[in-house]
Amino acid sequence: MTEIAARPATYEDLLKVPDHLVAEIIDGELYTSPRPASPHARASSVLGGVLVNTYDLGTSGPGGWWVIDEPELHLGPHVLVPDLAGWRRERMPQIPNVAWFELSPDWVCEVVSPDTGRLDRIKKMPKYAANGVGHLWLIDPLQRTLEVYGLENGRYFVLSSHGGEEKVHAEPFAEAELPLASLWI
């Protein structure tokens, strides 16, 4: 008996996913996740606001970054949607007018939830590493933690771990103080 292999997911398959779901393609497989619950949305929104005000708009800090909510990344055959991503302006002088980005970001943040934590850690982290994303943050709003990873020789290593109500200076945004308590509901 011959087994017929399932065909790899295509971008057309991704476009058919209802708008209330986040759709990604990893290793030819289509993954869908529900839109985030309020603890997730709060953490991502506050963090994005802090980073945009400090690093993107440059109104009160060092500037030099583009920070974008839920960008669609086309990294080789993979379509990933991190909660936040940032590009150094020296690598991407202008934000292109595109539906997705093919240039790997310099930093991504995944806000993990019970529905997405496994996908973020097992499937997405290795793809970010393989595509040269220099820093990765994992935020767990239910556990109230931040894990900061740095890329070295194609693999991520924990640079620091934080939690609760700490005030954090975390790579690659160490110039700004991030009060973790502001991320939590």
Per-residue pLDDT of the chain (185 residues; tens, 9 = 90+): 444 457 899 999 999 999 999 999 999 999 999 888 999 999 999 999 999 988 888 655 577 899 999 999 999 999 999 999 999 999 999 999 999 999 999 999 999 998 899 999 999 999 999 999 999 999 999 999 999 999 999 999 999 999 999 999 999 999 889 999 999 99
pLDDT for 115 equals: 86
Contacts of 152 (CB under 8 A, 6+ apart): none
Contacts of 120 (CB under 8 A, 6+ apart): 110, 112, 138
Tokens of 82: 């991190």
Contacts of 12 (CB under 8 A, 6+ apart): none
Check if the beta carbon of residue 33 is closer than 8 Å to that of residue 119: yes
